[in-house]
Amino acid sequence: MNSSKTIIENALPAGAGSPELRMWVRLLACAKIGEKQLRRRFEDEFDTTLPRFDVLAALYRSPDGLRMSALSRSLLVSNGNVTLLVRQLQEQGLVHARTDPQDARSAIVSLTETGRERFFMLAEAHHSWISEIFVGVPDSRMQELGLMLGELRSLLGGDV
Amino acid sequence: MNSSKTIIENALPAGAGSPELRMWVRLLACAKIGEKQLRRRFEDEFDTTLPRFDVLAALYRSPDGLRMSALSRSLLVSNGNVTLLVRQLQEQGLVHARTDPQDARSAIVSLTETGRERFFMLAEAHHSWISEIFVGVPDSRMQELGLMLGELRSLLGGDV
DNA sequence: TCCTTTTACTTTAAGCCTAAAATAAAAGGA
DNA sequence: TCCTTTTATTTTAGGCTTAAAGTAAAAGGA
């Protein structure tokens, strides 16, 4: 219990207080808090989930449909996960899968008319929740953040 | 298939292209991409997970230990989830739980010496991975982002 | 003291997610 | 043609997460 021991006891972990660590911790916290709110509202008001909404949104952006692997890439989730989500949406009649005539291994998934209507309804609620969650953030700040996160995102690669 | 039908077919979902929606989508994508990389490395190099590391980090910051509910609040996860994570870390001998002498309902969880050593090792790797992931982001940009996300975070409430 | 309410935590059911193994079709040669 | 490799997807085992129900202790009266 001499002084050198005390110094060891009080040692800081690597990176404590570094700008990149602080930024990352905050980014993650904001994402978690927002996601938590959205999850609750999707559940309470529409008995659905954010991941399922994400699938509908991706399919909406591709009117000709998407193969499972394209869907998986665009949502940043695994193939197996997409299989599950698509199956659920299929059971609800919101999406439709047909075998690619050019390649029997691939399924092409697209929105049904019901799915399209459902997506519009969900998207409206989703947007209003986002606005609510970020009420108090000035529009100029929102623009700045959007710009900087856009840069960050393209730097991270991931999709595209 | 008249023109009004066509307009309906091409209708945009609510909020399309609004600054808050764009910001949110990008925030979420950055978080997901970063998390995915960290998850893989924690698994590959240390056979552990980000949530377990988060528990260790929270406990490191509270040398006197934390009650389960405080841990749950600080990590932004449910009580049930903390129960599970703490049990796993307990089985590995990294954390220790004792009943609060003032309140037999509460357990006070703290790092063991092994847990503390383990945390330092993980924290060093974690920091180097973060640095690697965000290599190419200038330091000034990192500071700006950290500041803005800090504001955003306190606006969202959530913890604290 | 006894009873009700609140608080802390655990358990359970169900959904998300991944990596790895399995399946199956396509592609590319010998 | 036949065989190997690659590609697309599904299945499986296992971990994270939540909400809701359950358990148990504390607190606050009558």
Q: Compute the average pLDDT of residues B142-156.
A: 95
Spacing of A103 CA from D5 C1' in Å: 17
Spacing of B72 CA from D19 C1' in Å: 15
Query: What pLDDT score does B140 carry?
Result: 95
Residue B160: burial class (beta carbons within 10 Å; 0-12, 13-18, 19+): exposed
Q: Please report, for residues A89, B58, B68, the alpha-carbon distance to residue B65 in angstroms, rounded to integers and kept in the order given.
A: 45, 9, 10
Integer Cα distance of A70 and A62 in angstroms: 10
Which strand D nucleotides have any atom less than 7 A from protein CB atoms?
A: 7-13, 15-21, 24-27
What is the least distance, in Å, from the CA of B159 to any CA of chain A? 9
Please list every residue in chain B whose beta carbon sits closer than 8 Å to the beta carbon of residue A146. 19, 22-23, 26
What is the least distance, in Å, from the CA of B61 to any CA of chain A? 10
% of chain A exceeding 90 in pLDDT: 87
Integer Cα distance of B57 and B71 in angstroms: 10
Residue A149: burial class (beta carbons within 10 Å; 0-12, 13-18, 19+): buried
pTM: 0.89
**Choice between B2 and B19, residue whose per-residue pLDDT is larger:** B19
Task: Judge: B145–A152 Cβ closer than 8 Å, yes or no.
Answer: yes
Q: Compute the average pLDDT of residues A46-61.
A: 97
Integer Cα distance of B90 and B65 in angstroms: 14
Residue A136 Rama label (left phi>0; alpha psi -120 to 50; beta): left
Q: Does A61 score more than 80 pLDDT?
A: yes
